[in-house]
Amino acid sequence: MTEKKYNDIIAVDENDNVIDTMNMMVAIKRGLLRRASRIYVFNESGQLLVQRRSKNVLKPLMLDQSCAGHVDAGETYLEAAQRELHEELGLSGYELEEVATSFRTTDFFNAVYKITITDDTAINFDQEELEAVIWYNLSDLDAEMKCSPEQFTPAFLEAWQLLRDKLVT
């Protein structure tokens, strides 16, 4: 089995100023703040798409926000969001609604976006990165996060707690 090649990503300081670009795993090992884009995909029924990460990626088999990823060297937050949406979920051509930018969580400065798709939109997810996609009613998601937080990535729990009200309005 070959080792996965990780892209060069953007590391930032406490004010979201770029300090370097480097291999993602190097930045993580050094404990550096990194830029990430997060996209929350809702359907017309008001459900949120939650992904179960594959066994092939960091934080395997945990539940995570609809789509997210590091901002690669040379990308803007929006470009990273559009790329990740296409790579992970096979969705493109959507206008992303910005919910927050330069939004700080423990390990990241984030741009957070949301979209609403029709209930019958096909999700052609990348099976190397995702095990499954699950549509959650928000009350069920909130209850599951409260009862079983260990099922969810820390970044998803943190961002959802801080931005839930902005995401669902």
**Looking at residue 71, which CATH number applies to its domain?**
3.90.79.10
In a 10 Å sphere around its CB, with 0-12 CB exposed, 13-18 middle and 19+ buried, how is residue 135 labelled?
Answer: middle
**Domain-located, residue 94:** yes
Residue 169 pLDDT: 81
Residues in a beta bridge with 19: none
**Domain-located, residue 3:** no
**Domain-located, residue 29:** yes
What six digits make up the tokens of 139? Answer: 């009350």
Split into its structural domains, the chain has a count of: 1
pTM for this prediction = 0.93
Measured between alpha carbons, how far is 32 from 56 in angstroms, rounded to an integer? 23
Measured distance between the N- and C-terminal CA atoms of the chain, rounded to whole angstroms? 45
**Domain-located, residue 157:** yes
Please compute the mean of the pLDDT values over residues 28-35 and round it to a whole number. Answer: 95
Q: For residue 12, what are the domain limits?
A: 8-167
Measured between alpha carbons, how far is 88 from 39 in angstroms, rounded to an integer? 11
**Domain-located, residue 75:** yes
Residue 81 pLDDT: 98
Residue 92 pLDDT: 95
**Domain-located, residue 2:** no
pLDDT above 90: residue 6: no
**Domain-located, residue 14:** yes
**Domain-located, residue 132:** yes
Query: pLDDT tens digits, residue range 126-155?
Result: 999 999 999 999 999 999 999 999 999 999
Average per-residue pLDDT in the chain?
94
pLDDT above 60: residue 3: no
